[in-house]
Structure 1
Amino acid sequence: MGILRKGVFDGFEGKTGPLVGRKVNGKSVISAAQHKTTKPRIQAQIDQQLKFALVTNFLKRFKRLIAVGFANVKHRNAFNAAVKYNFRNIIRGVSPDYSIDYSKLVYSRGCLAGAYSPSVTVGSDKLIISWLPHAQSQLNQHSDKASFLVYCPDKQLTVILERAVNRAALQFELELPVGLMGLPLHVYMSFVSINGKEVSNSMYLGIF
């Protein structure tokens, strides 16, 4: 690859013959055109593609939460940052039978304090999510807002409640859609500061 500073090709963009020209940081850059390979993909490449597709398709369900929870990652789109982080942690199984370890899902990463000693009680048509009080600090304010996520693998159904209640409330009653009670439900929660600039790590509260 050559960077063209002067000459007849200066400013050349697009493809011509075996060459491709483009602008990178204001400079004209030329490189060889890529060619389709006829070589069969090795198993490692196939496995990577299977894992990547599995993670991205799963995380798309939680884009609203990820847009806030990974917003502070530098030099990376929030969703791409979430894919990169979860890709390393969330996959289980062996090729080609990969699956998601729901307990490892992380949709938010930040420096706010998480819920202190959270617990979940199952009601007739709702989940009662509680946590204990903890001393206020710069990263633990009564005004922080709690968000909740419930995922039902059997129905592939997601329930999301964003900024549903203040940290000081110490409890939230999460009403469930009809038909979810009695099915396995994975429950998560996180906090976001009142100005929306800081978030906590999301917490997996268990399966109920």
Structure 2
Amino acid sequence: MAIASNGPQGHLNGKVGNLVFYMLNGQPVVRLIGRKGKPSILQLANYQGMAVTTKLLSRMGGFIKLGYGLQARGTVHNAHNLATSYHKKQALKGEYPNISIDYSKVKLSQGLMSETKDLKINKVSGGLEISWDPRDYADLSYNDSVMVMICCPETGKDREYLNIARRSEGKCFIPLFEEVLNQQIEPYISFISADGAMVSDSVYLGNLNGEGLNEIEKQQQVKYQQVKSRFDQLEGSYSRQLKENYGEIPKTKAFKCLEKEYKAVQKQLLHLPGKPG
């Protein structure tokens, strides 16, 4: 049952048939509910696109709040809504069921602050060094804060630094263990004014170490290793029995079964994706 708390001409709150009425950020909203039929390919692509986008943004909540918060002020949207809308439309690549993130198009902040010059990133001993032009230009100030996002797609253990340095310092250092330093890294940098009134567009600093395995490739690699492990067991048993029989093929039913499985797994292994290297 829905309630018209502001009279018959007011917005409903509750359920009427297969419609649900409610308030969202001060705005009246109505949505349809009910049993869904079998989804089309376009719907499945939309679901996967949203899932991929949500997974990306879920690991960088603090950065998104600052990076899109100014845009969200005075609107019915919040920072996460705006970031989700942008990335789902602009930062995905591939077709269903292989939709993934195009990290070169990721924008973790959007604002009116001018672009910072001479941005560079280098791998150094023990981590990453990021540098920029520290001088003041127009709306750029020495005490602007520096925000850095280090995305690690292979492990999902991203790192966000919301106030790692001041613009006047001209550089910052991100300590990373050697294991992390040698995996796929997608780094971003933004600048925000000391009073939080202005923010720059984030800048993609470029991929480090190439692209790691995606989810499908990881699954293929796991499957290959499982089959390879079984093949090694069969090969050891097959070779041992031949040796014990002085190279002659045993006539037993057990050996025939072993030989049949051995050859089948050997053939499967030849054509199975996921082989290392």
The TM-score with structure 1 as length reference comes to 0.82
In structure 2, relative to structure 1, the CA distance for the partners of 1:40 and 1:150 (3 Å cut) is same
| Cα offset, 1:173, TM superposition | 1.3
Deviation string for 1:166-187 (max 9, x for gaps)? 1111111111145212222111
Distance in 2 between residues matched to 1:21 and 1:131, nearest whole Å: 51
The within-5 A match list for 1:1-208 is 14-15=14-15, 18=17, 34-37=33-36, 39-74=37-72, 75=75, 76-137=77-138, 139-177=139-177, 179-208=179-208
Deviation string for 1:81-102 (max 9, x for gaps)? 1000111111111111111111
Matched letter for residue 81 of structure 2? N
Distance in 2 between residues matched to 1:33 and 1:87, nearest whole Å: 22
Distance in 2 between residues matched to 1:64 and 1:32, nearest whole Å: 30
8 A Cα contact 2:114 2:200, kept in partner? yes
Deviation string for 1:106-125 (max 9, x for gaps)? 11111112321201121111
Q: Identify unmatched segments of 5+ residues in structure 2.
A: 209-277
Distance in 2 between residues matched to 1:206 and 1:32, nearest whole Å: 41
In structure 2, relative to structure 1, the CA distance for the partners of 1:179 and 1:12 (3 Å cut) is closer
Distance in 2 between residues matched to 1:92 and 1:52, nearest whole Å: 13
Deviation string for 1:19-50 (max 9, x for gaps)? 8685779xxx9x9974424x322211111111
Distance in 1 between residues matched to 2:49 and 2:188, nearest whole Å: 23
Distance in 2 between residues matched to 1:82 and 1:65, nearest whole Å: 11
The TM-score with structure 2 as length reference comes to 0.63
Bigger fraction of residues in strand: 1
SS at match of 2:82: helix
In structure 2, relative to structure 1, the CA distance for the partners of 1:129 and 1:41 (3 Å cut) is same
Q: Report the more deviating stretch, 47-56 or 148-157.
A: 148-157
| Cα offset, 1:153, TM superposition | 1.6
Bigger fraction of residues in helix: 2
Distance in 2 between residues matched to 1:171 and 1:32, nearest whole Å: 49
Distance in 1 between residues matched to 2:35 and 2:65, nearest whole Å: 35
Q: Percent identity?
A: 23
Distance in 2 between residues matched to 1:180 and 1:21, nearest whole Å: 47
Stretches of 4+ moved more than 4 A in 1?
3-7, 10-13, 19-25, 31-34
Equivalent position of 2:217 in the other structure = none
Distance in 2 between residues matched to 1:113 and 1:79, nearest whole Å: 23
| Cα offset, 1:165, TM superposition | 1.0
Q: Identify unmatched segments of 5+ residues in structure 1.
A: none
Distance in 1 between residues matched to 2:175 and 2:117, nearest whole Å: 22
| Count of residue correspondences | 197
Matched letter for residue 94 of structure 1? E
In structure 2, relative to structure 1, the CA distance for the partners of 1:33 and 1:55 (3 Å cut) is closer
Bigger radius of gyration, 1 or 2?
Answer: 2
CA-atom RMSD in angstroms:
2.9
| Cα offset, 1:52, TM superposition | 0.6
Distance in 1 between residues matched to 2:20 and 2:98, nearest whole Å: 42
